[in-house]
């Protein structure tokens, strides 16, 4: 019960209440006005507020369409005819509960009282809009208003809502989160993953599907064959309901009741709102592909006009009242747009844009010691040092990070009781419990989105990819959501993704790839790749401390084959700082990961040549100063990496050296990399594949150039 409104979670009762939706919207024939409003215990003051909230986005959008034709805004996604969903649902949520809206949800923004002047600046791409001119239309968020900015990959926001809901549960907050998607997005894997995660983890998420009949030009009969999208809820073991999305009282009453259900039962809920898109996907696309009879069927079902007529019939408002409200809104909109039309002078600064890509790092003073020189730190005797394997150093880094940050959540497939396939997280469950050490369903994209949602509410996440190869299934969340979010609207993504990587263990094409170059190309990410236990622990701690998304690569072949001195204390190796492993004067080998050990092994066997070996440790950002220093010492450079040659990080380093250090070179920069083939399974084929098999050849070419 909420404010005298009874909400039944029994599907039969709700279907009976919404019997006008027995058939999908696109099959319905024109039936004239059908809307029935139930006043229940709503007061006249509440009903007037509902009307005002419904009218404002309609009048605002009508003005925007006029300005679009005048060339004062460049693009518009119309929500005319769908306002009752955004407005009713937003009114049903508490103001401090997060909403994930989409293109056509202007009513979310106006109902959350976002200033129209600033919204207009946003739509114009002005510097003083919500995204500093970096984003378009509604692709932005506002922490102040608890609105999360969408990305164009529509289903991606649903798992972000899971993360926010998980934070509510971990923090024991009596809140829900509301996530919008269209009927088209329900065909995407992200929809399935998000609903499944929310169901398995009992998360208080309201998944709201706006079924307006078309995904751009594709009608729903080409999207799915089930009777309704609400029926899909059964497949995840949760409740679902289909309602009239054009009736603001139905939307409000349903969402408010669903919200109460989610809070009481700690479960998600799926709500399908039936409506129609009265204009094109965006204004330029038009509506010629939509049958005219559908417009005839839906025009009488206009959510604003129907509610207005009902208020008049019930003597809740008079014609004079309505005209007064419209005049008030017209003046308000005109005034706000006049403010928004005054552009702030933009001084374009490349440095300012670069600085916006990453969240500013904070110093964890008092409990994190930064080590910039490994050898010096060990010699000073300030640490208790023990010999540890590579895998154990990483485990210790995770353990100490969880002690340091009580808001750190570790997630991944089989990482709890089983301890992960490489046993890196073994024992953590017993120490920190299931809330913080979470086995996940097999859904990489959904879990990465969930990690981002946790970050929005101030949590840290450490996600394990079972193998680095499997990250492809979550690629979009990483390169489009995590990486860009701070640049777009100032929200940091406090997420570390652990990537067991590399060949040499006869695991074949799908468990052996070195895919770090995919992420080095993506602004907003940091990419780390340690080669020894001390760096592995220190860089892992630094990655967790960092406020930005970090891809943390761990070579599987090094896990139990490499040992070294590791301080017992909590310390970090700064991200972006390379390490000079050996100083020499004949040839520089610039490398990372397993390549460091290949270089050291070769140097030990060829003592007649003086090698300068540089371990990059971080690939994004790169330590260009250390690279330049190495070039200046030898003039002959070999970039060595396990990744395939084409498009590898070696190409970037080689290009930078030849652009910036050309006068220091005595020979062309050479790259020694693995074959441009998938990683083969057979041991002999794998050895031939790896760059190590060609290392001698390239060094000899450099020596004799």
Q: Give the phi and the psi of residue 124 in degrees, each rounded to 5.
A: -85, -10
Peptide bond connecting 621 to the previous residue in cis, omega within 30 degrees of 0:
yes
Q: What is the pLDDT of residues 624-646, one digit of tens each?
A: 999 999 999 999 999 999 999 99
Helix (H/G/I), strand (E/B), else coil: 553 = strand
Residues 111 and 144 in one domain: yes
The conformation of residue 185, written as its DSSP 8-state character, comes to G
Tell me which residues of the chain have a pLDDT lower than 70.
1-34, 362-367
Burial of residue 495 (number of CB atoms within 10 Å: 0-12, 13-18, 19+): buried
Same domain for 534 and 591? no
- Secondary structure class of 690 (helix, strand, coil): coil
Same domain flag for 568 and 679: no
Do both 262 and 141 map to the same domain? yes
Task: Enumerate residues 6+ apart whose C-beta is below 8 A from 644.
Answer: 514, 673, 674, 675, 676, 677
Residues 208 and 271: their CA atoms lie apart, in Å, by 5
Q: Is 216 left (phi over 0), alpha (psi -120 to 50) or beta?
A: left
- Of 526, 545, 572, the last residue of a domain is 572
Nearest alpha carbon to residue 319 among 330, 308, 329: 308
- Nearest-angstrom CA–CA distance, 49 and 56: 11
Distance of alpha carbon 267 from alpha carbon 369, whole angstroms: 42
Q: 363 in a domain, yes or no?
A: no
Active site residue 511: yes
Count: domains in the chain: 3
Specify if 150 maps to a domain. yes
> Are 446 and 332 part of one and the same domain?
no
| Backbone torsions φ then ψ of 356, nearest 5 degrees | -80, -10
Residue 644 lies in a domain: yes
Give the H/E segment covering residue 566: strand 563-567
Asked if 343 contacts 126 with a C-beta cutoff of 8 angstroms, the reply is yes
The verdict on 642 and 547 lying in the same domain is: no
Q: What distance, in Å, lies between the first and last C-alpha atoms of the chain?
A: 83
In a domain, 522, yes or no: yes
Same domain, 81 and 167: yes
Q: Please check whether residue 359 lies inside any domain of the structure.
A: no
Q: CATH code at 694? A: 3.40.50.920
Helix 303-313, helix 44-69: angle, nearest 10 = 150
For residue 198, which of 108, 262, 129 has the smallest C-alpha distance? 262
Q: Give the model's pLDDT for residue 249.
A: 97
Tell me the residue ranges of DSSP E strands in 607-654.
611-615, 618-620, 637-644
- Considering the domain boundaries, does residue 420 fall inside one? yes
Answer yes or no: do 589 and 555 share one domain.
no
Q: What is 46-85 written as a DSSP string?
A: HHHHHHHHHHHHHHHHHHHHHHHHTTSSS-----TT-HHH
83-92 and 303-313 helices, crossing angle to 10°? 70
Q: Strands 526-528, 618-620: parallel, antiparallel or unpaired by DSSP?
A: antiparallel
- Both 629 and 566 in one domain: the answer is no
Domain for residue 2, yes or no? no
| Domain co-membership, 411 together with 273 | no
Q: Which of 511, 555, 597, 641 is catalytic?
A: 511
**In whole angstroms, what is the distance from residue 656 CA to residue 659 CA?**
5
Do residues 269 and 395 share a domain? Answer: no
**For residue 611, what are the domain limits?**
580-703
Residue 363 pLDDT: 61
Q: Is 327 part of any domain?
A: yes
Task: Mark which of 524, 556, 572 sits at the end of a domain.
Answer: 572
Domain CATH number, residue 422: 3.40.50.970
Q: What is the pLDDT of residue 78?
A: 81
Same domain as 200, residue 147 = yes
């Amino acid at each position: 019960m909420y404010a005298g409104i009874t909400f039944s979670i029994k599907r039969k009762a709700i279907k009976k209440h919404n019997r006008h939706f027995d058939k999908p919207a696109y099959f319905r024939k024109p039936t004239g006005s059908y809307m029935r409003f139930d006043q229940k215990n709503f007061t006249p003051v509440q009903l007037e507020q509902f009307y005002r909230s419904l009218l404002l986005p309609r009048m605002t959008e009508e003005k925007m369409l006029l300005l679009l034709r005048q060339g004062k805004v460049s693009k518009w996604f119309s929500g005319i005819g769908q306002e009752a969903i955004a407005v009713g649902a937003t009114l049903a949520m508490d103001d401090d509960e997060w909403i994930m809206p989409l293109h056509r949800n202007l009513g979310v923004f106006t109902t959350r009282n976002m200033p129209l002047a600033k919204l207009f600046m946003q739509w114009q791409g002005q510097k003083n809009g919500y995204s500093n001119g970096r984003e378009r239309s509604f692709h932005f968020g506002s922490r102040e208003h608890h609105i999360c900015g969408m990305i164009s990959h529509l289903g991606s926001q649903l798992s972000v809502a899971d993360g926010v809901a998980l934070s509510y549960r971990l923090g024991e907050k009596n809140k829900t989160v509301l996530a919008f998607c269209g009927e088209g997005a329900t065909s995407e894997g992200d929809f399935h993953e998000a609903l499944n995660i929310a169901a398995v983890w009992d998360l208080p998420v309201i998944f709201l599907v706006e079924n307006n009949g078309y995904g751009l030009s594709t009608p729903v009969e080409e999207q799915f064959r089930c009777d309704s999208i609400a029926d899909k809820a059964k497949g995840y073991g949760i409740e679902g309901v289909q309602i009239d999305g054009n009736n603001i009282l139905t939307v409000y009453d349903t969402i408010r009741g669903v919200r109460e259900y989610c809070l009481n039962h700690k479960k998600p809920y799926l709500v399908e709102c039936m409506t129609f898109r009265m204009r094109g996907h965006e204004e330029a696309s038009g509506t010629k592909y939509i049958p005219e009879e559908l417009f005839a069927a839906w025009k009488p079902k206009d959510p604003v006009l129907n509610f207005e007529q009902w208020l008049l019939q019930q003597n809740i408002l008079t014609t004079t009242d309505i005209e007064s409200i419209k005049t008030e809104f017209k003046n308000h909109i005109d005034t706000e747009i006049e403010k928004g039309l005054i552009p702030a002078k933009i001084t374009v600064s490349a440095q300012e844009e670069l600085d916006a890509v990453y969240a500013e790092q904070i110093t964890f003073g008092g409990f994190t010691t930064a080590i910039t020189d490994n050898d010096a730190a060990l010699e000073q005797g300030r640490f208790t040092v023990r010999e540890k394997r590579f895998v154990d150093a990483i485990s210790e880094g995770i353990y100490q990070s969880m002690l340091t940050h009580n808001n750190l959540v570790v997630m991944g497939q089989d990482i709890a009781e089983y301890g992960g396939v490489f046993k890196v997280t073994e024992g953590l469950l017993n120490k920190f419990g299931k809330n913080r050490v979470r086995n996940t369903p097999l859904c990489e994209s959904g879990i990465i989105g969930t990690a981002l949602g946790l970050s929005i509410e101030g949590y840290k996440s450490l996600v394990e990819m079972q193998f680095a190869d499997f990250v492809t299934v979550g690629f979009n969340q990483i390169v489009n959501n995590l990486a860009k979010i701070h640049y777009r609207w100032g929200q940091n993504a406090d997420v570390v993704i652990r990537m067991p990587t590399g060949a040499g263990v006869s695991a074949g094409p799908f468990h052996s790839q070195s895919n770090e170059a995919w992420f080095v190309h993506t602004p907003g990410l940091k990419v780390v790749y340690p080669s020894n236990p001390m760096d592995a622990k220190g860089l892992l701690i630094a990655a967790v401390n960092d406020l930005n998304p970090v891809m943390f690569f761990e070579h599987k072949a090094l896990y139990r084959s490499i040992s070294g001195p590791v301080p017992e204390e909590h310390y970090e190796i700064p991200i972006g700082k390379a390490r000079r492993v050996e100083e020499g004067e004949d040839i520089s080998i610039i490398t990372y990961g397993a390549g460091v050990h290949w270089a050291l092994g070769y140097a030990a066997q060829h003592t007649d040549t003086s090698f300068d070996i540089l371990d990059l440790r971080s690939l994004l950002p790169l330590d260009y100063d250390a690279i330049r220093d190495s070039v200046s010492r030898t003039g002959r450079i070999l970039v060595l990496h396990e990744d395939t040659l084409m498009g590898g990080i070696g190409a970037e380093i080689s290009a930078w050296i030849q652009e910036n250090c050309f006068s220091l070179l005595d020979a062309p920069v050479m790259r020694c990399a693995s074959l441009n083939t998938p990683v083969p399974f057979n041991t002999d084929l794998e050895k031939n594949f790896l760059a190590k098999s060609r290392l001698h050849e390239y060094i000899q070419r450099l020596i004799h150039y």
